[in-house]
Structure 1
Amino acid sequence: MNGHSERQPDPKIIDLLAKEPENIAHVSLEYFPPRTDQGVKNLHARMDRMLANTKCLYTDMTWGAGGSTADLSLDLALHAHKTGHVSNMHLTCTNMEKDGDPIKAVHDALRTAYDGGIRNIVALRGDPPEGEKEWTATEGGFTCALDLVKYIRKNFGDDFGVSVAGYPEGHPNRISQLSEKEIANMSEAEKGRCCTHDGITYVCKDEDYKKEMDYLKEKIDAGADFIITQMFFDAEVFKTFVKDCRTWGINCPVVPGLMCINAYPGFKKMTKFCKTRVPKSLEDKMDSMKDDPEAVKAFGVEFGAEICRSLLDSGSKILHFYTLNLEKVVYGITDELGITSGLIEESNESDAKDMVAVGSAWARVGDTVKFSAGQGVVKEIKSDGAAVVEVDGKDVEVAKGSYEKVF
């Protein structure tokens, strides 16, 4: 294969992870494609700043829900490589099709990435397309991330470093609502990863957690190099997950994925949507500050630094931040850890309104949105992206692109 990148091809992340960090820890940063052209320009500038300021080991670019950002994700991942980042491009199996052929779409994306100097891929199943609640495979396409890992290794050999997702609390699709009897009979392991939202207790039951770990082992055995985890807010859950990986014979690096706490509404919605375990002390603290956005950000720094210290003390060599396309909390955490110094005072988030993601992730059922006729709560997202919004007790259908999430 002949590359067309002006820069040398990226090193593989697995090789970088094998080296001892020069500072307290390696940092990696994850971004998503914004919805607007201005957002993309602003993201370019933010990525440049954050690379220079944090010396991040690598930079992830996500692939939008339902393949909604395929072209933009690829463009941004290539831009990252061209501007000095080690680019780690997410690639999903969802809604990928070219000339009626889903396999060709994936192959062409991989070829374009390779020719552009990218050498690292995050192989994922992906989320449902916009307006759909359930994930279904594209006809003739891949059915899961394992298929994608196998395809990459079969057709590209060792040309790419490959990472996969890990779920310390179990994949949300395997997390079950418990009855009172089931709550009373939870195992100690289940108690350690269960969560409660709106008075309902959920957990990935032991038998389902075993299936999750067996599947993760298959992905590693098929050729994945390392694991990046789903977000978590309880360090003990991550530590247990790493121990379980070793018990299952999964001996590759396990990178902790850390969701930065930037705002109360976003924190509540994301943790509920993903059925994430939230320790009672954290829940109470967040609830006490829900009407003070600046206090929430300051606490996001404090809590983030605390959980990072616990992870570093347990042997983690890298901290992977889900930045939400923002910088202040990330800088605050790295400043607190001594990885950087004085960056939080230099942070600039005046462009936050332009950093909204493409695709269904930016508006879901239950979100509050605003549009020309007012503001209301989303009751339904239709297959064409239109939203049914309840406004003053009446349902109003609002066309895709005509509404904006408030929270």
Structure 2
Amino acid sequence: MNNAPIISFEFFPPKTAEGMAKLRTAREQLAAFNPKFFSVTFGAGGSTRDRTLETVVDIQQAGYEGAPHLSCISSDKAEIRTLLAQYQQQGIKRLVALRGDVPSGEVSAGDFRYANELVSFIREETGDWFQIEVAAYPEFHPESSSPTADLKYFKQKVDAGANAAITQYFYNADAYFRFVDQCEKSGITIPIVPGIMPIYNFTQLARFSSVCGAEIPRWLRLRLQDYGDDLASLRAFGTEVVEDLCEQLLAGGAPGLHFYTLNQAGTISSILEQLGAGEK
């Protein structure tokens, strides 16, 4: 891999001590690829708030950069202000700022409606302390009324003070490149790092994709379905597909790759080894 692309990984906060031990093992395996940071998700309505902080602190104490996700739906300004202060006290310098999903049964949306409002608030409270990553949607946010509206909302996050963006996952490289072109035409110049989802099994991938609006191309969907219960063959094929996607993205000028790990390292390690990541 040339030009030292940015590599980063996303974890979710474990619920148990055993889960934390497994996460540490995965983290150490992935650390061999010299990641810029490890991000940690934040449950709907802040449902994993304490565990997100604990997991990020554990990453920082191990000598790596941790980046907590911070979603604003169902949160008020006082809660976010307290969290920002905690992160600053721990020496955390990077955040992934998101709107987040409304938890089932939730009545109040809190003080923030959109991620750009959260980004603005972070800047007002902390100045330039944090490197702020935001989300981007090459295949458009499932709640957006149109591609034009989606791009407008993304630009609002950039104008509010975002430093870089991580995309929703996708399997069509052209969608990413067209999105980047449209961003450049709109005056958006921040790095837009493609999000990469390894393929572990079809049922899980289809469920994720139906929720987040990511498209599984018809040819890929049919091939994955055809493997049925043969998970070993499905994963081997899926790994080839994702390797090829990563190669296309980097060859086309993507600034790096952000992997949605699901707290697993094996498949991603295989992909990155094929790409030559981590080589001196």
| TM over 0.5, shorter chain | yes
Relative to its length, the structure with more helix (as a share) is: 2
Aligned to 2:22: 42
Question: Structure 1 residue 280: deviation in Å?
Answer: 2.1
1:314-349 deviation per Cα after TM superposition (whole angstroms, max 9, x unaligned): 1013111001111111011111112158xxxxxxxx
Aligned to 1:257: 195
Are 2:235 and 1:321 equivalent residues in the alignment?
no
Aligned to 1:120: 94
d(CA) in 1 for partners of 2:28, 2:90? 18
Aligned to 2:60: 81
d(CA) in 1 for partners of 2:252, 2:107? 36
Gaps of 5+ in 2: none
One-letter amino acid of the counterpart of residue 16, structure 2? T
Report 1:354-365 matches (<5 A).
none
Report 1:1-400 matches (<5 A).
23=4, 25-51=5-31, 53-96=32-75, 102-129=76-103, 131-132=104-105, 137-138=109-110, 141-174=111-144, 208-340=146-278
d(CA) in 2 for partners of 1:228, 1:117? 22
Question: Structure 1 residue 72: deviation in Å?
Answer: 0.5
One-letter amino acid of the counterpart of residue 130, structure 2? F
d(CA) in 2 for partners of 1:38, 1:81? 19
Question: Structure 1 residue 21: deviation in Å?
Answer: 6.5
d(CA) in 1 for partners of 2:93, 2:205? 33
Q: Which moved more, 1:277-286 or 1:247-256?
A: 277-286
Q: Which has the higher contact order (CA 8 A, sep 6+)?
A: 2
Contact 1:256/1:318 (CA < 8 Å) preserved in 2? yes
| 1:135/1:61 CA distance change after superposition, 3 Å | farther
Among the aligned pairs, what percent are the same residue? 34
d(CA) in 2 for partners of 1:299, 1:22? 28
d(CA) in 1 for partners of 2:66, 2:176? 25
After the TM superposition, list the runs of 4 or more consecutive aligned residues in structure 1 that deviate by more than 6 angstroms.
Answer: none
One-letter amino acid of the counterpart of residue 83, structure 2? A
| 1:22/1:239 CA distance change after superposition, 3 Å | closer
Contact 1:123/1:145 (CA < 8 Å) preserved in 2? yes
Contact 1:167/1:229 (CA < 8 Å) preserved in 2? yes
Contact 1:166/1:229 (CA < 8 Å) preserved in 2? yes
One-letter amino acid of the counterpart of residue 129, structure 2? D
d(CA) in 2 for partners of 1:126, 1:275? 14
Q: Which has the larger radius of gyration?
A: 1
**Secondary structure of 1:256's match?**
strand
d(CA) in 1 for partners of 2:262, 2:13? 10
TM-score, normalization by structure 2: 0.94
1:60-111 deviation per Cα after TM superposition (whole angstroms, max 9, x unaligned): 1111122110111011112111111111111011333xxxxx2111111111
Gaps of 5+ in 1: 1-19, 97-101, 175-204, 342-407
1:99-154 deviation per Cα after TM superposition (whole angstroms, max 9, x unaligned): xxx2111111111111101001111111122x34x88512xx22211111111111
**RMSD over aligned Cα, in angstroms?**
1.8
